[in-house]
Amino acid sequence: MTVVRASPGRPAPATQEGLDVVTFGEAMVGFVADDGLDLALSQRFARQVVGAEANVATGLARLGRRVGFFGRVGTDALGDSIVRGLQAEGVDVSRVVRDATRRTGVLLRDVWVERPIQVAYYRSDSAGAALGSGDIDGSYVRSARLLHLTGITAILSDSAWECTRAVVEAARESGVAVVFDPNLRRSLCTDEVAIPRLRDLAALCNVVLAGLDEVVALTGERDTEAGARAILASGPALVVVKDGARGSWAFDRDQYWHQPVFPVTATDPVGAGDAFAAGFLHAWLDSPSVPGALTTAAITSALCVATRGDSAGLPFADDVTALEAGETDVRR
């Protein structure tokens, strides 16, 4: 296999072999309340494949990218549904490990826009948390133009942290561009453990996609630009900061850009960050235009939050193209 190295801060050019993007982490089955009630009262749930990295993989596949996901799921029925669900979206799951000794993780949540969403995790000692360095196929990582990861995997367990570091090193050694979303989850780990790991990963990546709250946690800086430049000083070539309704900013060492949000009626805010990542990576893979990537990310994020569920609203390429062109009429 021929390895085509990326230029500094950019993905390698497309080839006929390999994948555009590889991502990895814990995929779970999510049960999302669809009766408009509080989680404690909900009687009806829609089942989905969830997990930040799986959501990004699905988003990229819908946009037409060749994308692979690897991780661990159980040999139970829920593990089967994850593998089949990702396959149906066009995601390569050939490196997913089936664990006969642990169960697939589960998430339940309700859906609200006006108040905090309640989430219940059942992922302790799950198959996904057992991800380890022995689960890495280096040639698979090296075949990709870009590696996407989040900080969630890094804090699931010590073995998952070792796996995360090893995957990043494998990508860096091969010239595969690395994009990191901290996705800080304080319900899974203390800051004393999580923050040093996330800082370490940010320093090793080409691009960091972070929420403003995560920038504050990583740097102590509450000013958007000061926080972004503190992360830039540690190593990345580009830092993107997401700040909800205020839009997003991108900073490199010389300049910055701002992208307003696309106005939509929000139905479910969960999954917005993953949709943003999918849109940004899709555009960034083939174009050096940071503003263009921010625009595509804003569109994919907006379309996602307009639909209930973590990934149900992830758009297809035609949807993005239509909104970019200002087309909102009914297609007949």
The residue with tokens 């380890």 is 132
H helices, E strands: number in the chain: 11, 14
Helix axis angle, 158-173 to 191-204, nearest 10°: 10
- Do 149 and 167 touch, CB atoms closer than 8 A? yes
Q: Are 299 and 324 in contact (CB under 8 A)?
A: yes
For residue 231, what is the enclosing H or E element?
A: helix 224-232
Cβ 179 vs Cβ 205: under 8 Å: yes
Phi, psi of 15 (to 5 degrees): -130, 175
Report whether 299 contacts 39 (CB < 8 A).
no
Question: In the numeric block, which tokens belong to residue 47?
Answer: 């089942």
Nearest-CA neighbor of 209 among 271, 172, 251? 251
| Euclidean distance between CA atoms 170 and 168, whole angstroms | 5
* β pairing state of 72-74 and 45-50: unpaired
Among all chains, which residue has been given the structure tokens 């990043």? 168
Q: Is 254 a catalytic residue?
A: no
User: Which position among 99, 135, 274, 310 bears the catalytic label?
Assistant: 274
Give the residue numbers annotated as catalytic, written as ranges: 274
